[in-house]
Amino acid sequence: MSAVGPNARPTDQGDVPQRDVAFARSAPAYGRWVSWIVVLTLAANGLWLVATNPNFEWHVVLQWFTEGSVLKGLQVTLGLTVVSMVLGTLLGLLLAVWRLSENKLLSGVSALYIWFFRGTPLLVQLIFWYNLSTLFPTLSITVPWTDITFASWNTNDLITPLTAAIAGLALNEAAYMAEIIRAGLLSVDHGQVETTQAFGMSRSRALRRIIIPQAMRAIIPPTGNQLISMIKATSLVSVIAMGDLLYSVQAVYNRTFEIIPMLMVAVIWYLLITSILNVGQSAIERYYARGSKRTVVVNKRRASSDTALAAAPRLKEDV
């Protein structure tokens, strides 16, 4: 039997020299270490410049970071985000179902809505809702083309900065969530839909029990991105005098002229919120990806075992 090991040599029968894969070592990754050193050096230098620059006025940042008006603006930002995201997701789900419907009317209405709200800037939509009274001084429930009126309201009483902000953010978000949810629904194997039809399930029940739970794996990641974008998009409501986080810090630096430190207060709060949301998004993604991860692990183990068997040296017996 020929020798097998790290120092195996060719035998007289012309065997190819073989080495035990257990003694294999990867080549040193010098380039990786150099890149880490360069990046860490640049990052440390940048942090040092920011921390030691007196123009940032970090003592002012600490003074106003937990001040009452700033925290109140933070509450408004979080409240707008939650309400607008929930309303936008619910409306987006309805639009996505309509978009996939075989009913041409529903599909067309959904496509028109998505086209309009995705094609116009959010800032323009917010300003439009805030100034709706210039177009319609009163809002009424009437019979079309008649003078019969069931109820009427003054537009300025209904469209406050809060309602204009919620309407603008939620309606705009619904257009994007509709496309996200539609893509998630389309990612589900069509055989699942055929199975629900074979069992006589209604379309609404099939969506609720079978299709949507499977589509969540494709819906959650972009929805998390939309939620983070919504947090930052709420800063636009400051143009309609809505007292969010950015509006609160603007009100302060308009009095004190401490523009940079007050903006840093807003930046740090936005970074904290988005960081927490990133952690929550990762946890939800892991929850919905449990089944797929098991499949990936099994496939990797099978591939590793097949590779090891193919690379293992074969023992040859001398006759």
Q: In angstroms, rounded to a whole number, what is the distance separating the alpha carbons of residues 259 and 270?
A: 17
Q: In angstroms, rounded to a whole number, what is the distance separating the alpha carbons of residues 82 and 217?
A: 21
Q: What is the pLDDT of residue 265?
A: 94
Of 4-18, 77-91, 190-204, 286-300, least confident by mean pLDDT is: 4-18
In sequence order, the 6+-apart residues with CB closer than 8 A to the CB of 251 are 69
Give percent of the chain with pLDDT exceeding 90. 46
Task: Provide the pLDDT confidence category of residue 308 given band limits of 50, 70 and 90.
Answer: very low
Q: In angstroms, rounded to a whole number, what is the distance separating the alpha carbons of residues 94 and 270?
A: 30
Strand partners, 50: none
Q: In angstroms, rounded to a whole number, what is the distance separating the alpha carbons of residues 85 and 72?
A: 20
Name which of 128, 267, 287 is nearest 221 in CA terms.
287
Query: 251 burial class (0-12, 13-18, 19+ CB within 10 angstroms)?
Result: middle
Q: What's the average model confidence in pLDDT over 209-214?
A: 81
Q: In angstroms, rounded to a whole number, what is the distance separating the alpha carbons of residues 174 and 153?
A: 26
Give percent of the chain with pLDDT exceeding 70. 82
- Greater confidence (196 vs 24) lies with 196
Q: What is the pLDDT of residue 312?
A: 47
Distances (CA, A) of 187 to 70, 104, 190, 212: 43, 22, 9, 10
Chain position carrying tokens 């116009």: 120
Reduce the secondary structure of 123-192 to three states and give it as a string. HHHHHHHHCHHHCCCEEEEECCCCCCEEEEEEHHHHCCHHHHHHHHHHHHHHHHHHHHHHHHHHHCCHHH
Distances (CA, A) of 160 to 237, 241, 245: 12, 10, 18
Q: What's the average model confidence in pLDDT over 103-112?
A: 94
Distances (CA, A) of 229 to 98, 150, 174, 233: 25, 40, 13, 6
Q: What is the pLDDT of residue 299?
A: 53
Strand partners, 149: 142
pTM: 0.76
* Interval 220-249: pLDDT, tens: 888 888 999 999 999 999 998 888 999 999
Of 103-117, 252-266, 281-295, least confident by mean pLDDT is: 281-295
Task: Provide the pLDDT confidence category of residue 138 given band limits of 50, 70 and 90.
Answer: confident
- Greater confidence (10 vs 90) lies with 90
Joined together, the tokens standing for residue 104 give: 């041409």
In sequence order, the 6+-apart residues with CB closer than 8 A to the CB of 54 are none
